[in-house]
């Protein structure tokens, strides 16, 4: 299965934490975006984030991928004290495809595609960088970006490549 992962950090050594995700998925990587500095989303009284998007090909079932992502967050000592609050590491599954088929799930443990990805510039812009023809739930990622608030787009700044 092919998965799109959004990774982010706004605490501790942000670059090292993101690099740890890349290292974990090194053998599965199809593509990795540049690193982007982005303002916080949802809760604004916190430091800016570093974000990136990975496309990976992995074996197994979606819940196994979720557990792998959660292990990375746990290893980074992520603490969930406030929704959308500061975090050492966030590893979200944005989308999973099995061939051309996008997997859909309304399970609260793993909702697919990610319920807010379509409105988050910090996900869509890095994703568009590495998959210009990407489609999320029937709409091209390029079209989703075009529909974002221009202020949100301006806040996503490429910092460096991995």
What residue segments make up the domains of the chain, in order of their start?
Answer: 2-160
| pLDDT per residue of the chain (162 residues) written in tens, 0 to 9 | 999 999 999 999 999 999 999 999 999 999 999 999 999 877 777 889 999 999 999 999 999 999 999 999 999 977 766 676 688 999 999 999 998 899 999 999 999 999 999 999 999 999 999 999 999 999 999 999 999 999 999 999 999 998
State the Cα torsion 158-110-41-34 to the nearest 10°. Answer: 0
pTM of the predicted model as reported, rounded to 2 decimal places: 0.94
Strands 110-112 and 139-140: unpaired
CATH of 2-160, one of 3.40.50.620, 3.40.50.920, 3.10.20.70, 3.30.70.560: 3.30.70.560
């Amino acid at each position: 299965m092919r998965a799109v992962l959004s990774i982010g950090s706004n605490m501790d050594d942000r670059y090292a934490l993101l690099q740890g995700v890349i290292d974990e998925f090194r053998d599965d990587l199809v593509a990795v975006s540049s690193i982007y500095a982005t303002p916080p989303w949802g809760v604004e009284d916190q430091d800016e984030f570093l974000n990136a998007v990975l496309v990976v090909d992995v074996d197994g079932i979606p819940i196994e991928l979720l557990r792998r992502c959660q292990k990375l967050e746990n290893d980074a000592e992520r603490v969930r004290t406030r929704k959308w609050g500061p975090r050492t590491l966030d590893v979200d599954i944005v989308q999973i495809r099995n061939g051309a088929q996008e997997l859909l799930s309304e399970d609260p443990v793993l909702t697919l595609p990610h319920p807010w990805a379509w409105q988050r510039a910090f996900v869509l812009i890095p994703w568009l960088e590495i998959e210009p023809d990407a489609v999320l739930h029937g709409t091209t990622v390029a079209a989703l970006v075009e529909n974002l608030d221009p202020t949100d787009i301006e806040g996503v700044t490429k910092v460096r490549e991995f």
